[in-house]
Structure 1
Amino acid sequence: MNLPTPIRTYFTARAPQDAQAFAAAFAPDAVVHDEGGRHHGPEEIRAWWQAAEERYRHSAEPLEATEAAGKTVVRARVSGDFPGSPAILTFTFGLARDRITDLEIG
């Protein structure tokens, strides 16, 4: 599957060694919506990501990617230490200038 570079970084980064590369994939004003929370800016997003990695010890395998309403929508199998694992989740990415501008996980 041919994913844009910042989305590929999102799915291949490993905590904690890839934290800087992960944060760099996001625009300065990027926003992530996940589990009812809102995380703003690369550093807050990096902290959210590292906490989720520690809590759930999860991995996500992209299954398919489509374009809809100017966004890249990736369905991925997410496995980890959480009820219902593995689960198929939808990651809806907004992109601009080779950076993630927004992400909604559902």
Structure 2
Amino acid sequence: MPDDQHQTIDPAGLPPVITRYLAAHRARDTATALTTLTEDATVTDDGKTYEGVPAIADWLGRAASEYTYTTELTAAQRIDPSHYIATHHLEGDFPGGQVDLRFRFTLRDDLIEELVIEP
């Protein structure tokens, strides 16, 4: 969908399930993060796709321990009632030291069905 169809919203206006996932992700709370996902959820990060809760749990565990970083939610967009983008600024000890990442969420039945994380 072209960017001109995205509606900028206050990050506080993100659906509760996204807010809960982001808070858990930031706190490295894998158990809580997993409660926000559909059973058949997929996550794509760094060009790799993880399908289903067990694979996503493994990814979350690795992602939490690989680097030390801070993250700040800097923007949010609503594409439609099921699609949102949350933009984060990360700084840490990973290659490059800082990056802006877009977390693209697809929701189904008030849970996260798909998450794509990309610059």
Alignment TM-score, normalising by the size of structure 2? 0.78
Kindly, what percent of the aligned residue pairs are identical?
30
Partner of 1:9: 20
Q: For residue 85 of structure 2, what is the amino acid of its counterpart? A: V
Alignment TM-score, normalising by the size of structure 1? 0.86
The CA distance in 1 between the partners of 2:70 and 2:110, in whole Å, is 23
Partner of 1:81: 93
Question: By how many angstroms is 1:24 displaced?
Answer: 0.8
How large is the Cα RMSD of the aligned pairs? 1.6
Which runs of 5 or more residues in structure 1 are unaligned?
Answer: none
Q: Secondary structure at the match of 2:94?
A: coil
Which runs of 5 or more residues in structure 2 are unaligned?
Answer: 1-10
Partner of 1:71: 83
The CA distance in 2 between the partners of 1:68 and 1:59, in whole Å, is 27
Runs of 4+ in 1 over 3 A off after TM superposition: none
Q: For residue 32 of structure 1, what is the amino acid of its counterpart? A: V
Contact 1:93 1:100 in 2 (8 A): yes
The CA distance in 2 between the partners of 1:59 and 1:26, in whole Å, is 23
Residues 36 and 60 from structure 1, CA distance in 2 versus in 1: closer, same or farther, beyond 3 angstroms? same
Q: For residue 92 of structure 1, what is the amino acid of its counterpart? A: R
Q: Does 1:36 align with 2:42?
A: no
